[in-house]
A and B are shown apart, each in its own frame.
Chain A
Amino acid sequence: MLRSGQIGVGVLVGLLLVLPLVLTPNLMNAAIKMMIAGLFALSFSLAMGQAGMLSFGHSAYYGLGAFATLHLMRAVEGSLVSWPTPLLPLAGAAAGFLCGVAFGWLATQRTGVYFAMVTLALAELLFTLAPTWNSVFGGEAGISTMRMNSWSINFASDTAVYYLTFAWVAVSTWCLWAFTRTPMGRLALAIRDNEHRVRFLGFNTHRAKTLIFATSTMFTGVAGALLAIANEATNYTIFSAQASANVVLQTFIGGAGTFFGPALGAAIMTFFARMTSDLTRSWLLYQGLIFVIVMLFVPDGIGGLISAHARRLGTTAVRHLILPYLLCGVVGALLAVGVVFTVESVHVVMSDAYLVLRRANEGALVPYPLFGRTFNPLSAWTWAIPVVSILAGAALLPLARRLAQRGWSQALQERAA
């Protein structure tokens, strides 16, 4: 019998296979970046979620994978070696694994915050060295190259890159999932829960942790390699602490406790960033707000939320939750409208363009344009929009919570009966 998880994976794979037929080039590119981000987050969460090693420097292996691949691509371009394009990520995997063994051997001597600090220091070392080390990292400009055609596939097209990325992400994801089923994968969980006891049982935990870390960085290297193939260029900023932090952020939004959660979080946040960065300059603020809200109210992340519903509720019991969740959606939308309207208004009113406009009108607070309309900053109606929507949202919030709780208990009762 097929379980719902397997059906879900099957549907996802099928969807991703036919997706290029309907996507615009811009969305195709977004889909490629989402898959890469998903793999990055999955490989990170092997170290974080499975073995409990919070790495704050995973961008190091991401970047090294990308640079290794670009160097190989340059060698192929210069006819120094011959290497088929579809197998380029192997270079990233090798770079990620080797550096993972070396750096991981150092870092896994420490645990907890100290481990995070060692990984951070290693990544920051690379970040500060790379712009000055021209021969390897191409200075501040970085290095770039071209994809070569091979196996009679034309890699100039985005579709080819899409399928190449998809194939590697799918195989890597399967490997990562399979790894959790191996004795080594079980050992990772045991180390996370009680390292002392594992050591007492006679395991060499340092060696095991190094190997788990290196496995994680190997797939991070693959993700970096795929990015290099898609972009055909990279520079030292790929090593930044920001990049390392991003993957931590995405993993926790998705849910570090579940297998697919991190990939989901990464895909959603990458898509969100891509869509909103074109629309507003304050998108990082929204991203930060979403992150803080998830940390405060959904500590298990989106994946944790989904798996809690799937695990504890039957499909029929969900009907008790439809109405409460609709109300929750309305509350969320009201609050979002209020916040977005306020932020965007501030953004327009504080901008230089508005200042020029005010000067032209002798300092008067003239109406400002927003969302294709104009608003008068002195009018009560303008102020009413955010105030009313936030107040309404805040007033409905307790009701929504109560209804959701009641729905949950009803659903659980029905399940039990």
Chain B
Amino acid sequence: MEFFVVSLLNGVIHGLLLFMVSAGLTLIFGMMGVLNFAHAWFYMLGAYVGFTLTRTVGFWAGLIAAPLIVGLCGVLIERYMLRRVHRYGHTHELLLTFGLAFIIEEVIKLFYGDFPVNYAMPPYMKFAAFTLYETNYPFYRLFIGGVALVMFAVLYVLLTRTRVGIIVRAATYRPVMVEALGHNLPLVFMSVFATGAALAGLAGAVAGAFFPTHPNMAVDFGTLVFVVVVVGGLGSLEGALVASLMIGLFISFSAGLNWSLADLLTVVGLGGWAREVGGLLTLQLSTVAASMPFLLMLLVLLIRPAGLFGERQ
């Protein structure tokens, strides 16, 4: 029971963090068709901006400034780089963001060194929210989850209940028609890209204070955010939330379970044979936890490529 509750809580929080990083990506992807490879690197950039400002101005200032600064980077990248290569196709856009990811990571290494930095939350936030089976559950984890939920709510209302949201959603499906109706489509694209980047930056500033902030934190998330976007369905915010939670829970539960394919085969009486064969059949779920998201992504792509909440276009 203790394992179940703790895994559930950690999985949900991890999933919500994943959602914060991938929410922007799914918007960008769904709308502009740009597979922004650098998205997880925006997350890292947010964490480092947060770290720098925490040292000089303060934690909360960092939390507010990080999304603004990262969003500004997004504006510059969209305006002066992506727009330039747009006419060569999506592959070029993807590869450009890939190169940018390289540059962001190396510039961070240049200034902060190739090791973790000491980015910590303010001491007054360092307390236990509640005690669970004699272990204290840190308040900050709940704070991360709370920020993610607020972010989801704001984005959801913005997209479904406001004029801006209508234009953005319309531009996803009929960009030419939206432009013909007199809306400034390049501006819409730029804003969506900047907002997406800013959201990742916010996620970085919030999560970096709890989880380690180091130059490899982007790579760890790099491909996982794609899994979320694909599984949830391109451009679907709800899909991204559900997929993030699923993957968060998947990882946190499979990390603690020692099941293997051999155990499954025991049910049909083939357990002995499976253990003799060994190899893949006796690998425990806990050791292959990292592979599970990709297996899920593969299955979704092959069975339902539009994703859980995506619409077939």
Interface pair A129/B288, CB less than 8 Å apart: yes
Interface pair A124/B301, CB less than 8 Å apart: no
Interface pair A285/B106, CB less than 8 Å apart: yes
User: Which of B90, B110, B279, B288 contacts A282, CB < 8 Å?
Assistant: B110
Contacts of B301 in A (CB 8 A): 110, 114, 117-118, 121
B49 within 8 Å of A (CB atoms): no
B255 within 8 Å of A (CB atoms): no
Interface pair A296/B279, CB less than 8 Å apart: no
> Complex: how many Å from CA A245 to CA B99?
10
Q: Which of B102, B112, B287, B290 has the most CB of A within 10 A?
A: B102
Q: Which residues 103-149 in A have Cβ within 8 Å of B in the complex?
A: 106, 109-110, 112-114, 116-118, 120-122, 124-125, 128-129, 132-133, 135-136
Interface pair B106/A118, CB less than 8 Å apart: no
Interface pair B110/A346, CB less than 8 Å apart: yes
Query: In the complex, how many residues of chain B place their beta carbon closer than 8 angstroms to a beta carbon of chain A?
Result: 44
Contacts of B84 in A (CB 8 A): 296
Known: A285-B102, A299-B92, A346-B110. A125 touches B283 (CB 8 A): no
Contacts of A291 in B (CB 8 A): 95, 98-99, 102
Contacts of B113 in A (CB 8 A): 350-352
Contacts of B124 in A (CB 8 A): none
Interface pair B110/A132, CB less than 8 Å apart: no
B280 within 8 Å of A (CB atoms): yes
A266 within 8 Å of B (CB atoms): no
Give 1 or 0 for each of B67-89: 1 = CB within 8 Å of chain A CB: 00000000000000100110010
Q: Which residues 42-81 in A have Cβ within 8 Å of B in the complex?
A: 54
> Complex: how many Å from CA A125 to CA B280?
13
Identify which of B140-148, B184-192, B292-300 touches chain A: B292-300
B3 within 8 Å of A (CB atoms): no
By beta carbon, the residue of chain B nearest A252 is B95
> Complex: how many Å from CA A118 to CA B291?
14
A248 within 8 Å of B (CB atoms): yes
B111 within 8 Å of A (CB atoms): yes
By beta carbon, the residue of chain B nearest A288 is B102
Interface pair A129/B35, CB less than 8 Å apart: no
> Complex: how many Å from CA A113 to CA B91?
9
Interface pair A296/B85, CB less than 8 Å apart: yes
Contacts of A343 in B (CB 8 A): 110
Interface pair B95/A249, CB less than 8 Å apart: yes
Contacts of A287 in B (CB 8 A): 102
Contacts of A132 in B (CB 8 A): 283, 287-288
Give 1 or 0 for each of B247-272: 1 = CB within 8 Å of chain A CB: 00000000000000000000000000
A12 to chain B, nearest CB (A): 27
By beta carbon, the residue of chain A nearest B35 is A113
Interface pair A285/B88, CB less than 8 Å apart: no
Interface pair A125/B279, CB less than 8 Å apart: no
Interface pair A295/B99, CB less than 8 Å apart: yes
Interface pair A125/B291, CB less than 8 Å apart: yes
Contacts of B81 in A (CB 8 A): 292, 296
B172 to chain A, nearest CB (A): 15
Known: A110-B305, A120-B226, A128-B288. A288 touches B110 (CB 8 A): no
Q: Which residues 317-358 in A have Cβ within 8 Å of B in the complex?
A: 343, 346-347, 350-352
Interface pair B106/A117, CB less than 8 Å apart: no
B122 within 8 Å of A (CB atoms): no
Interface pair A288/B278, CB less than 8 Å apart: no
Interface pair B302/A346, CB less than 8 Å apart: no
> Complex: how many Å from CA A241 to CA B35?
15
B118 within 8 Å of A (CB atoms): no
A173 to chain B, nearest CB (A): 24
By beta carbon, the residue of chain B nearest A111 is B305
A284 within 8 Å of B (CB atoms): yes
Interface pair A284/B106, CB less than 8 Å apart: yes
Known: A135-B279, A346-B110. A292 touches B298 (CB 8 A): no
B92 to chain A, nearest CB (A): 6
B222 within 8 Å of A (CB atoms): yes
A289 within 8 Å of B (CB atoms): yes
Can you list 18 A-B pairs, Cβ within 8 angstroms, ordered by A? A114-B301, A117-B230, A117-B301, A118-B302, A120-B226, A133-B283, A136-B279, A245-B98, A248-B95, A248-B98, A282-B110, A287-B102, A291-B98, A292-B81, A292-B99, A295-B95, A299-B85, A350-B112
Other A-B pairs, 16, CB within 8 Å; known A128-B288, A295-B95: A114-B301, A114-B305, A117-B226, A117-B301, A121-B227, A121-B301, A124-B294, A128-B291, A248-B95, A249-B99, A285-B107, A287-B102, A292-B81, A292-B103, A299-B92, A350-B110
Q: Which residues of B come within 8 Å of A, CB atoms?
A: 33, 35, 81, 84-85, 88, 90-92, 95-96, 98-103, 105-107, 110-113, 222-223, 226-227, 230, 278-280, 283, 287-288, 290-291, 294-295, 297-298, 301-302, 305
